Each structure stands twice: as structure tokens, then as C-alpha cells.
Chains A and B, each alone.
Chain A
Amino acid sequence: MRSNPSDYEMVAPNNLRAVVSLLAQEPGMWLPIAGGTDVMVQYAAGKLAVRKLVSIWNLPELRGIEVAGDEIRIGAGCTYTDLRGHEIVGREFALLSNATGWTGGIANQNRGTIGGNIVNASPAADSLPALLVYDAELILVSLRGERRLPYPRFHAGYKKTLLAPDELIQTICLPRRFSTYFSHARKVGARNAQAISKVCIAALGRVKDGVVEDVRIALGSVAPVPIRLTETEQAVEGKAIDSDLFLLARKAAAAEIRPIDDIRSSARYRATVAGNLVVDFLNRLRSTFAEGDGSKDVLTRWNHLPSDQAAKIILPCCGSMAWAREMVARRPFADDAALLAASSEVWRGLSQSDWMEAFQSHPRIGESRPAIPLSTPSAPSRSVEWSAQEQQKVGDADQAVKIALADANREYERQFDRIFIVCATGKSAAEMLEILQRRLTNDADTELHEAAEQQRQIMQIRLRKWLQK
């Protein structure tokens, strides 16, 4: 039975204070509505009991994402699209940005908000397990003031929350301390897009010397509220990560969840899938941290590494930190070709100072060490090794050519104020000397772009070597 719009009152104040004043005047009588992706569905079905609505869509006080010291603060009115497009969320909170990409189609991502998703309190919501493992805290606001609440305490029972009738969620705070963790999220539903999950998982973990250092696992759709598997976590921490542990984790998880039969799935199916998802996570965690496992596809493994580690590994292929960070942010790459294409695109979009950083990571042609070592301590060895391979033919050249090359290098540095970059692979010293002498006649801008193009080619060769290792 469809609702009649004339039965409903609705106002749209233009600031947050006006909204909380209204909620304070008649607590419980007003229903806040943001993008309407839940409220309007209830309305369409004639199931909206409240007759007064206050719009909080697009309120500026609720729409920002800001970094405040060691945490990131997300306005409750941020849409899924806002979150998906945000650089820090994508880089440091991959579980959240992945889940926002799964939720609904594009139109619903443009309207659905993170605060609305929390208040709607569906046990099946894809982004809520991510908030649990990231130790989110909520800032709730009312005319009485603000209070801060750890998110795991917010859900009191099925569709019950600790939000007072005169309160709104204003901000979701996420501490920035999980970027070194391996993260894994997955949903199981009838189809990938637009389907509500039968079971979903968000998990973080760290392994040292084959032992589980820390894991954080949360599941959706297996209990009246999204839950952290705290007992399973305790059961596996400090233990060797092997198949015995997987069995133990599966048992512990089964004891912690309370799945039900409903229209989307059965309790039995959910229990089995929940166990599978926990084991799948631990398995991936093990492979990610396994050392010297040459059989595993380099790209797949790199796709799943914690951001810092992934950046460190790819840095020597280019030398620019900005490039490495952007490449990490663009993960996962489906295949080698996608990564190679992205690397050129990212390189071309960098600033001149980023290009300079990459140029400086190379040794002069004919020398073995870069003038300025890379800032990351473990990076240079790989870069130095590659430089040696690339410049192999210089070593074979006769002394006269070597001397001429050294002179031309100095001339180049005097003229352009940086070292001469050329893609040396396969080129003899004489060939490089010829190129160098030609490029000395370039104007500054032409030469900068020629150097950048050479660096791009070097990078492509290095990326291929790395991927085929």
C-alpha cells in the first residue's frame, strides 16, 4: 500500500543547529532523512510510521572528510561516492572504500550516506563490519551537546541503537593506525551488484615470523547486529599460522555467530560460509606474509599487501614516492598490463619535482651509485642492481668513449642542473654518447619531457622484471 504524500510533513533546515533544535522540541516525532535510500523505500511500501521528516541531505556540517592528527573524521552525511573518491580513505581504509563500492548501484551510492547506513542498523550492511575492525568512534550531537561513543557499543540489538531521540550522528572517527595491516573484505550474495549480503566479512591482520601477531575480524548478517569475532581473534593470536589454526578458527567462529533463516539464506548456509570466509582470510594473510614464496603470482601478492609495504616494494621501479603512493592507491590491478598502463599514466601526471626525485634515484651513466640515495632504506639495493644490469654495456666500452661520456655527463649537469637520464637497456656506450650529445642541444622544456619519457621507459622495463621475478 503506497503512502500518501499529503499525510507527511517535511522541512529542510539549512543548518545543523536548526535540525537538532527541532529534534529537541519534539523528541522522537521527527525522522531525519538524508539521501532517502532507506526511508523512501519504507515510505513507498506504506511502512513509514513517523509523519514528520526533517531533511539533513547535503548539510555542510555533515558532508566533510577531514584529517585531524592521528584520526580521520568523516561527516555522517558523506555519501558512498564521497568515500569511494577520497584519497586517504582509499589508501588507509581499503575495507571501507571496497564496501562502499559494493553497496547498491551508482545512483544509490550518490545518495546513500554512511551515517544513514549506521542508523538504519541493518545486520547485513556491508560497510559496518569495516567500521568495527577499524575501531571507529561516533560523535553524536544534540542540543544538549556532543558525546563520543565507541562504535561497537552503538548497536544494542536488532535495529536498536543507543541514539537518543533528540540525537544525530555527526561524525565517524577512524584512527589512522591500520595501514601496515593486511586487509581483506568479501561479500557473498546472490549477485555482486545491488544484492544484499548473505554473509560479509571485513578483516585486518598482521603476522610476524609465521605467528599471528594481531587479527581483527568482523562479520555481517550472522547475528542481529554486525559483530566482531573477539573470541576467534583471541583463539588465533600468538599461534603459528597453519592448517591446524584454520580448523581452530572455523570452530571458534561457529561458536560465536548466531545466524538465522530468512528470505536471503539459511542459518546452516550462513554458518558454513562464515567459517569459509574466516579461513579464506587467514589463508590470504598467511600467503601475504610468507617470505620467499616464489610460486605465488607477484602481482596478486602485491595487490594485497599493506599500503606501506606495497609502496616500498614498487618504489625502486621508479624512484618517485608520489608515483609509488598513487600506484598503491590504484590497486588492485587485474593483470600486468593494467599495472603497466597505470604506471605510465601516473608518471605523466606527476609534478616536475616528483620527476626530479625519480631522476635523482639513478646513478650517472658509467657510475654505480646514485648521487642522492632513495629515502627508503631498503629500496636502493634493488635499484642499484637494476642500474647495473641496464648499464651493462658501458663497462665493455673502450676508455676513450668512457671519458667522453663522463665529460658529456658533466656538461649536461651544468646545463640542465640534473643527471642525464636515458633508457640504457640494450644501448652501447657509444650510442648513449651520441644521444647525450644530441640532447645537449635541446631547450630546457623539450629536454625535461625527453628525460621524463626515457624514465618512463626505464620504469616499464623495471616493472616487467619485477613482475616476472
Chain B
Amino acid sequence: MSDSREGHSRAEISFVVNGEPKTVWAYPMERLLDVLRHQLQLTGAKEGCGEGECGSCAVLMDGALVNSCLVPVLQARGSNIVTIEGLAAGETLHALQEAFLECGGAQCGICTPGMILAAVHLLDRKPEPTIDEIREGLSGNLCRCTGYSQIIEAVAEAARRRTHA
């Protein structure tokens, strides 16, 4: 994208990403997804459909799961964003990441960051979800490989461990 093109100017937009304050210059209608991937080099969020149907670009914005392909970056100003890169503590994986690994919840990996963030969002609200609640919590995230069973099992396993830890 070129700055010399006729059009509107970029704006300074600050927010917190994975706990660190960041400031970017971006066109207000740039998608949060593109800013994360291209300017901040956080390539965990993936572009699947680009129209809010598949959930592979999902991130947490002020604690709420959102599809970052549908968020104009201006609307993220001042917010607190968490991407998949922000879940692990150093070398220690988040309980959900561990459970996905152990249960075979990831295959090609495109949907995985969105799936895990959707699961984080679910367990924040329902620490002991039923299988139906897990299915509903992940219903906006499409997977083309695993057939979902291992993913659902991974979330159930992570919930069990967290409650009984």
C-alpha cells in the first residue's frame, strides 16, 4: 500500500497488545487483522474467509472474542487486544494450548489460534462447560481437518485440569 496514493490520511492509533502498549499509523478502515499481521508481525491470527464466517482471525478485544477481519482498526483504539501469541508465559504453554497438543486438537493449524481464543473466552465465562456449551462456544470457528471431536475433547480436558488443579 502506497502513501502517495490520493486518499485519506493515516491516523495514530494506540492500544495494548498482549500486555504491551503499541502505537501504529494506519488508515482508520484498515482491518485490525492486517495491522496485527503486517505492522506488528503477529501472524497467529489467520485470514480464512475474510467475512466473519470462519473464526480463524479471532482475537480477544477487551476480553470479548471478535473476528479481527471485521474490526476497523480505529475501533480498536484504546483497547486491550490478546492474540494467540499472548497466551503462553515464556516457554510455558497455556493450559488450552497444552490440551490441544495432547488431544490432537490441531492439524493444519489454520483454525487453531481462533479455536483456542474462542475456548479461552468460553472458559473465562463458564469454567466447567458441558459438551454442548463447548460446541456452542466454538460454533463460530470452522475446522477443515479434525472433525472437531479432538478439539472439543481438548477444551473439556483443559477445563477439567483447571478446575481440579
Give A residues with C-beta under 8 Å from B: 3-12, 33, 35-37, 40-41, 43-45, 53, 55, 57-58, 81, 104-108, 110-111, 192-194, 334
Contacts and interface: CB of A to CB of B under 8 A. Distances in A.
A199 to B, nearest CB: 21
Please tell me the size bucket of the interface on B: 35 or more
Interface stretch (B17-25, B91-99, B137-145, B155-163): B137-145
Contact of A8 (B27, B53, B67, B141): B27
Contact of A108 (B7, B30, B52, B132): B52
A108 B140 contact: yes
B21 to A, nearest CB: 19
Q: Is the interface of A mostly helix, strand, loop or mixed?
A: mixed
A107 B140 contact: yes
Given A7-B8, A44-B50, 14 more contacts: A8-B29, A37-B52, A40-B71, A43-B29, A44-B51, A53-B72, A105-B140, A106-B118, A107-B55, A107-B58, A107-B67, A107-B140, A108-B52, A110-B66
B5 interface: yes
Contacts of B89: none
- Listed from nearest, the 4 A-B pairs whose CB atoms lie closest are A105-B140, A6-B7, A193-B139, A10-B28
A111 B62 CA distance: 12
A8 B10 CA distance: 11
B64 A5 contact: no
B66 A12 contact: no
Nearest to A48: B29
Nearest to A55: B75
16 contacts: A8-B27, A12-B28, A35-B70, A36-B75, A40-B70, A41-B70, A44-B51, A81-B64, A105-B140, A106-B65, A106-B122, A106-B137, A107-B55, A107-B67, A111-B70, A194-B53
Given A53-B29, A104-B52, A107-B65, A194 B139 contact: yes
B83 to A, nearest CB: 14
A49 B100 CA distance: 43
B140 A193 contact: yes
A10 B58 CA distance: 23
A6 B55 contact: no
Contacts of A334: 132
Given A105-B139, A194-B140, A8 B28 contact: yes
A107 B66 contact: yes
Contacts of B67: 107-108, 111
Given A12-B75, A45-B51, A105-B55, A6 B118 contact: no
Contacts of A44: 50-51, 69
A11 B8 CA distance: 11
B31 interface: yes
A6 B8 contact: yes
B74 interface: yes
A59 to B, nearest CB: 11
Contacts of B8: 6-9
B70 A7 contact: no
Given A8-B8, A105-B141, A40 B52 contact: yes
Interface of B: 1, 5, 7-8, 26-31, 50-53, 55, 58, 64-67, 69-72, 74-75, 77, 118, 121-122, 132, 136-137, 139-141
B7 A106 contact: no
B34 to A, nearest CB: 8
Contacts of A7: 7-8
B70 A33 contact: no
Contacts of B50: 44
B140 A55 contact: no
Nearest to B73: A5
Contacts of A36: 70-72, 75
Contacts of A53: 28-29, 72
Given A6-B1, A9-B28, A105-B139, A55 B52 contact: no
Contacts of B31: 5, 40
Contacts of B52: 37, 40-41, 104, 107-108
Contact of B77 (A5, A12, A33): A12
Nearest to A57: B75
Nearest to B71: A36
A283 B74 CA distance: 50
Contacts of A108: 52, 67, 70, 140
Nearest to B30: A5
Contacts of B55: 105, 107
Contacts of B65: 106-107, 110
B133 to A, nearest CB: 11
B143 to A, nearest CB: 13
Contacts of B64: 81, 110-111
Nearest to A193: B139
A37 B29 CA distance: 14
Contacts of A81: 64
Nearest to A42: B51
Contacts of A194: 53, 139-140
